[in-house]
A and B are shown apart, each in its own frame.
Chain A
Amino acid sequence: MREEIIVRVGAKILTPFIIMFALYVHFHGDYSPGGGFQAGVILTAAFALLALVYGLAAVQRVLPPWFTRLCAALGVVIYGGVGVVTMMLGHNYLGYNALAQDPKYGQHYGILLVELGVLVTVFGVMASVFYLFAGRGRRES
């Protein structure tokens, strides 16, 4: 697929929109279907599309494998960190009411942060697994 100009240009045009849509799905998860998990998968899809068209090496220059592995762990830390912070503020683990004066705002912030953790982990995991599958048994391309 490396030589198909329509595919190459099409993939390049689509990528920012896919990434934008992933962020929309995450930040709009409070109001519409979706959330961190779906957003993470869609974000991975953007890079998988690029990898299919431009080759793995080109994508790994932008998104190195160590970074995706870091993301996989970082998301768990973000999620757990929200719980630890709420405990330090004197509430239960993951008791979001602690995060703001008004419990409703606290819930909003908490859900958004926790979903961010989900997004980062799912993105990191999916991208890492994709790299492992796509990069296996292949000569450097």
Chain B
Amino acid sequence: MSIVVDIVLVTLLAVAGIALLRIRNLFAVVMLAGIYSLLSAGLFTVMDAVDVAFTEAAVGAGISTVLFLGALALAGHHENRPGHTPLLPLIVVSVTGLALVYGTIDMPGFGGADNPVHHHVADHYLKESPNEIDIPNVVTAVLASYRGYDTWGEVTVVFAAAVGVMLLLMGGRRSRAAAGDNGRVGGDGQAGGAGDR
């Protein structure tokens, strides 16, 4: 049964991906990107990675769609055709993809119980977390307790990224206010010209 779901989801993913490439209306592209994320979330669910699926659905299909829409409101809805032929990019992408696929040949079979990745520290986590941490969701136990330092690093990275975005996006507004331009009317045309800060 799950193999049928897999095939359907992967087929839909491929369809969404190709449609993403071909459509020039950016509104449709944003919606398709959300659908793509939702399909990926479905795929993660089939692979029993529910926490990852949850995050993908919330971030990929939820917030990033909204952010993309916000960006579209500034940048316009139509994507111009590229001036160059897509041949060279296609070759580069194909070669890279083939190299990656070739790289996976050496990897152990997907989901095998005796894969090395499942016997490094995972055994300890699965066997001992009921005694040491006593919460049913092992993912949370690993994230917040066993790997608490990693998550601490992730939180600071998220914070640092936000500081970067704020520095980039807030600076223009302030310098414009400091320049004392009359009224906010200039705001519309500023999307391109805001780089002069």
> What residues make up the interface of A, taking CB atoms closer than 8 Å to B?
25, 29-35, 37-38, 41-42, 44-45, 48, 52, 69, 72-73, 75-76, 79-80, 83, 93-94, 96, 103-104, 107-108, 110-111, 114-115, 117-118, 121-122, 124-126, 128-130, 132-134, 136-140
Q: How far is the CA of A35 from the CA of B143 in the complex (A)?
A: 10
What 0/1 readout, one digit per residue, does chain B (144-161) give for beta carbons within 8 Å of chain A?
A: 110011011001101101
Q: How far is the CA of A110 from the CA of B144 in the complex (A)?
A: 8
Minimum C-beta distance from A116 to chain B (A): 10
- A96 close to B187 (CB less than 8 A): no
The answer, yes or no, to whether B16 is at the interface (CB within 8 Å) is: no
User: Can you list 20 contacts pairing A with B, beta carbon distance less than 8 Å?
Assistant: A29-B137, A29-B140, A30-B135, A30-B136, A33-B137, A34-B51, A45-B58, A75-B159, A76-B156, A79-B152, A83-B148, A93-B149, A96-B145, A104-B134, A110-B144, A114-B148, A118-B151, A133-B169, A136-B74, A136-B173
- A94 close to B190 (CB less than 8 A): no
- A138 close to B137 (CB less than 8 A): no
**Interface SS of chain A: helix, strand, loop or mixed?**
helix
Q: How far is the CA of A116 from the CA of B136 in the complex (A)?
A: 19
| Closest B residue, CB atoms, query A30 | B135
| Closest A residue, CB atoms, query B51 | A33
Query: Known contacts A41-B59, A83-B152, A118-B151: does B133 contact A132 (CB below 8 Å)?
Result: no
Query: Known contacts A122-B158, A138-B73, A138-B187: does B58 contact A38 (CB below 8 Å)?
Result: yes
- A45 close to B63 (CB less than 8 A): yes
Of the four ranges (under 10, 10 to 19, 20 to 34, 35 or more), the interface on chain B belongs to: 35 or more
The answer, yes or no, to whether B191 is at the interface (CB within 8 Å) is: yes
Q: How far is the CA of A52 from the CA of B70 in the complex (A)?
A: 10
Please count the residue pairs between chain A and chain B whose beta carbons lie under 8 angstroms apart in the complex. 142
| Closest B residue, CB atoms, query A31 | B136
Residues of B within 8 A of A124 (CB): 162
Minimum C-beta distance from B75 to chain A (A): 10
- B144 close to A37 (CB less than 8 A): no
Residues of A within 8 A of B143 (CB): 35
> What residues make up the interface of B, taking CB atoms closer than 8 Å to A?
50-51, 53-55, 58-59, 62-63, 66-67, 70-71, 73-74, 132-137, 139-141, 143-145, 148-149, 151-152, 155-156, 158-159, 161-162, 165-166, 169-170, 173, 184-185, 187-188, 190-191, 194
Query: Known contacts A31-B136, A76-B155, A94-B152: does B55 contact A125 (CB below 8 Å)?
Result: no
Minimum C-beta distance from A129 to chain B (A): 5
Task: Identify which of B149, B162, B187 gathers the most chain A CB atoms within 10 Å of its CB.
Answer: B162
- A111 close to B135 (CB less than 8 A): yes
**13 further contact pairs, Cβ within 8 A, besides A32-B137, A94-B148:** A31-B137, A38-B55, A41-B63, A45-B66, A69-B166, A108-B135, A110-B144, A111-B140, A121-B155, A121-B158, A125-B159, A129-B67, A132-B166
Interface residue from B74, B132, B162 paired with A137 (Cβ < 8 Å): B74
- B67 close to A125 (CB less than 8 A): no
